[in-house]
Structure 1
Amino acid sequence: MTRTVCIVLAAGKGTRMRSDLPKVLHAVAGRPMVLHAIDGARSLSPDRIGVVVGAGGEAVAAVLARAAPDVSIHTQAEQLGTAHAVLAARALLADDEAVTGGDVVILYGDTPLIRPETLAGLVAARRDSGAAVAVLGFRPADPGAYGRLKLDEQGRLVAIVEFKEASAEERAIGLCNSGVMCLDAARALSILDRIGNANAKGEYYLTDAVAIARAHGLDAVVMEAASADEVLGVNARAELAMAEAAFQARLRLAAMENGATLVAPDTVFLSADTVIGRDVLIEPHVIIGPGVRIGDGVIIRGFSHIEGARIADGATIGPFARLRPGAVLAEGAHIGNFVEIKQAEIGPGAKVNHLSYVGDAMIGARSNIGAGTITCNYDGFGKWRTVIGSDAFIGSDSCLVAPVTIGDGAYIATGSVITDDVAADALAIARGRQVAKPGRAAELRARFKTRAGKDGTDKNGVGRD
């Protein structure tokens, strides 16, 4: 039976990032880069996935324990090159079941853009050719200092030549090494164990696998990526920004191809896990963070920020709205300008249209939340819940001090501070009674004028307009 093992190398220190965060944990499209690499590995339906971390890789291991608990973790105690890193996962390669047939695919935790179809093509290229090694190549506009892939007359891979060691003729080669590689599982260990460190750095380079395979009468082949963007490796903040831009362009295009309208696509930012339905309209300057699902026919007005939210069909959000994690909008709900929703369910057809905060709450169907309403959910120690029934009306500038329940059809008078439950269909008024004093305004004006002085200055001699 054909079997596949994927090894993701994530032990690099990433010193050029100048960050306390491990390089592979920097996010692209709201997801750590190493998880993108694991997603790529999963697309091959492998039998095992291993991630190689460096010394002090506890932070990476902690993220993987939460997000990819089925992935095994292997430690490269010393940084002695890429082949040395792969052999840190020797336990995967030495497994009898894993090497009876199939492939060992080597990926990188800082290369988040490789498409599943590209990885499938790499594996197919090795299997179809019967080669011991298949390398993913690419043709950048500027080959720069990339290693070059040297081919023979039959188009087979002869060697990977590092730029520093390449001749002028070899540097003229436009086909470059991405580092991503597929090895015949039955031969992987014998090839890797033959890689030496007789070089200036004294390290074990995975690129030597090609020359070793050829020296032992085995073939090596190249499969070219469709785009150089796919194999962009992130080593510095500028490259992180380039990877983000490329990923966003991919996500935007997919959203539009699936039936969403992005009025100004370059101003909309999505996450890798964003789900967008058909006939969705997204206006300019919208940011959608991780964990968002958007139903059909939703309208998202400009300058809105959404994360961790579920939005049902036909809802309207914004402009200038913020949906925080736990926001759930039912069908036809309306969230308007300068409204913040957090850990709250907004029922079908309910409206929170202006300048309100609704947190830790449940709003029933068709209820209307007036401008400036606040659910006072935090007392400095705990979070408390507000429940509002269906068809309720909450007047503007109301404060609902949780825990509190407002019944179906209840009416809260404008400017009220509600601290007790309100029964269904009841009217609650909780504010100071208005008192009118006829003529008092004219008396006050006269008093203030006398106090200010006849010369138009106040008691401190400051002029008044």
Structure 2
Amino acid sequence: MENLKAIILAAGEGTRMKSKKPKVLHEIMNKSMVEYVIDTAKDSGAEAVCVVVGHLAEQVQAAIQREDVSFALQTERKGTGHAVKMAGDFIEDDKDMLILYGDTPLITGETLKGVIEEHRAKENAVTVVSAMVDDPTGYGRIIRDEAGNFVKSVEHKDASEAERAVKEINTGIYVFRGADLKNALGRLNNNNAQGEYYLPDCLEILLGDGKNVGAYTAADESEFFGVNSRVQLAEAAAILKRRINRKHMENGVTIVDPEQTYIGSDVQIGRDTVILPGCVIEGKTIIGEDCEIGPNSRLTDMQLADGVKFQTSTGLESSIGSGTTVGPFAYIRPNCHIGNNVKVGDFVEVKNSNIGNGTKIPHLSYVGDTDAGEKINFGCGSIMVNYDGEKKHRTTIHDHVFVGCNVNLVAPVTIEKDSYIAAGSTITRDVPEDVLAVARARQTIIKGWKAKRVQKKS
């Protein structure tokens, strides 16, 4: 949407978290709460976002580090109205200003788009987002007239008995016209027991000016679940997990046990892929169609093409081609590019390497800092010796090479195509094409050695 900016309030200390870390930086599925809110604001159409920071402000700013996010500092916490005032330079008269909270990570872009559309259609000075809840105790209430028009928002402690019976609550999320927000903020006072400036008081100010004030009722109250403790953090994670898993299942992904599957909000999964129990899929991971993931696998910032089978393994910041199988108990470390129809078997570790199509690394091998071609066979116990004690070096293996069992390739070394490396060899020099390379000591039999050893010990 055009002419929309967002202010996110994130200055609170969050003492109930009992943490050295700012509350808004606590994570749900590997992503901080405030990042969820920023992404949702952008998804709703906000062209710019300002985060109001206070407690441990430098930590919050360092954690966000986004070009499309600016910051305002609230050195003293004097209420929500005061926090928005700190972002005064960010507010523009001719733009709508969306007010959100860094500890409310479950709000969706769809809800925000709905409130913005209604705000503009009704030409409101401000529109507050409300929700219907079974137990509204402690929340401010939205009071309407018989025609359903907004009359006021009243705090629980100030509400009459009849008003306390109302189950429509003020979620604290607003859309203001920029000019009206500036006007109302300039007239706020702190004549209350806490000596604070309350943002909801802006509604009364604008109503008194004869401005249109509206309330948009959201469909799902769980979107406004605020996190103030570790318990509530876990509860929010459970809500988000169910929401994300449901979206993928509705899009054609089979999740065998949704309660035991954790998928991040930015993950993309193709249809007819099956996710087995115990998987954690996070970051910017993209999974193609017809894959099988798990059980008990972790994928972080991975790219998997169609038809990949990834069983009981870990993959980080790498790509895997179509038809490739990984695991069980494999470890794909960052910056790997594994081709099509590759086999990475049990207890294999691959790091910072390129693996060509059709290559097989069946078991018990380490392939690090390696450029491997197509249709290579790595025997059991193959080790790419990439570190000389001071520097890392690369190994290059060309197409159709056969690497025997228990082989060490000491980098830097190049193995040309169609060559064979005999089992048990330690290769320290380049190997040409079409040869058998053997680098091991001749077997020696020492007769009588055991008897001499026993005699020496006695």
* TM-score bin (small chain): 0.7 to 0.9
Alignment of 1:310-459 (within 5 A): 310-436=319-445, 444=450
Q: Identity of paired residues, percent?
A: 42
Q: Partner of 2:53 in structure 1?
A: 53
Paired positions, count:
442
> Secondary structure of 1:12's match?
coil
Q: Partner of 1:462 in structure 2?
A: none
Alpha-carbon contact 1:300-1:319 (below 8 Å) kept: no
> Secondary structure of 2:246's match?
helix
Q: Partner of 2:27 in structure 1?
A: 27
Alignment of 1:86-125 (within 5 A): 86-93=84-91, 98-100=92-94, 102-125=95-118
Deviation at 1:85, TM superposition (A): 1.0
> Secondary structure of 2:262's match?
coil
CA distance in 2, matches of 1:225, 1:20: 34
Question: What TM-score, normalized by structure 1, do the two folds share?
Answer: 0.86
Matched, 1:242 2:251: no
Structure 1 residues 309 and 387: CA distance shift in structure 2, 3 A: same
Structure 1 residues 311 and 2: CA distance shift in structure 2, 3 A: closer
Alignment of 1:31-46 (within 5 A): 31-46=31-46
Structure 1 residues 322 and 276: CA distance shift in structure 2, 3 A: farther
2:290 aligned to which of 273, 291, 297: 297
Q: Partner of 1:214 in structure 2?
A: 207
Alpha-carbon contact 1:157-1:210 (below 8 Å) kept: no
> Secondary structure of 2:247's match?
helix
Structure 1 residues 199 and 298: CA distance shift in structure 2, 3 A: same
Q: Partner of 2:255 in structure 1?
A: 262
Structure 1 residues 355 and 227: CA distance shift in structure 2, 3 A: farther
Q: Partner of 1:463 in structure 2?
A: none
Q: Partner of 2:63 in structure 1?
A: 63
> Secondary structure of 2:353's match?
strand
Alpha-carbon contact 2:2-2:45 (below 8 Å) kept: no
> Secondary structure of 1:209's match?
helix
Query: Deviation string for 1:199-248 (max 9, x for gaps)?
Result: 22111111222222222222322222222222222221112212222222
Q: Partner of 2:82 in structure 1?
A: 84
Alpha-carbon contact 2:22-2:56 (below 8 Å) kept: no
Deviation at 1:373, TM superposition (A): 2.8
Query: Deviation string for 1:409-434 (max 9, x for gaps)?
Result: 33233333333333333333333333
Alpha-carbon contact 2:142-2:170 (below 8 Å) kept: yes
Letter in 1 for 2:318: A
CA distance in 2, matches of 1:386, 1:343: 11
Matched, 1:74 2:66: no
> Secondary structure of 1:50's match?
strand
Structure 1 residues 320 and 140: CA distance shift in structure 2, 3 A: farther
Q: Partner of 1:197 in structure 2?
A: 190
CA distance in 2, matches of 1:254, 1:4: 27
CA distance in 2, matches of 1:229, 1:339: 43
Deviation at 1:134, TM superposition (A): 1.1
> Secondary structure of 2:249's match?
helix
CA distance in 2, matches of 1:380, 1:274: 39
Deviation at 1:10, TM superposition (A): 1.5
> Secondary structure of 1:73's match?
strand
Structure 1 residues 161 and 86: CA distance shift in structure 2, 3 A: same
Q: Partner of 1:180 in structure 2?
A: 173
Structure 1 residues 155 and 383: CA distance shift in structure 2, 3 A: farther
Deviation at 1:451, TM superposition (A): 11
Letter in 1 for 2:24: V
Alpha-carbon contact 2:22-2:55 (below 8 Å) kept: no
CA distance in 2, matches of 1:337, 1:164: 62
Q: Partner of 1:455 in structure 2?
A: none
Query: Deviation string for 1:395-450 (max 9, x for gaps)?
Result: 33333333333332332333333333333333333333334568x7xx959997x9
Letter in 2 for 1:158: V
Runs of 5+ consecutive residues of structure 1 not aligned to the other structure: 453-458, 460-465
Question: What TM-score, normalized by structure 2, do the two folds share?
Answer: 0.87
CA distance in 2, matches of 1:257, 1:419: 55
Alpha-carbon contact 2:345-2:363 (below 8 Å) kept: yes
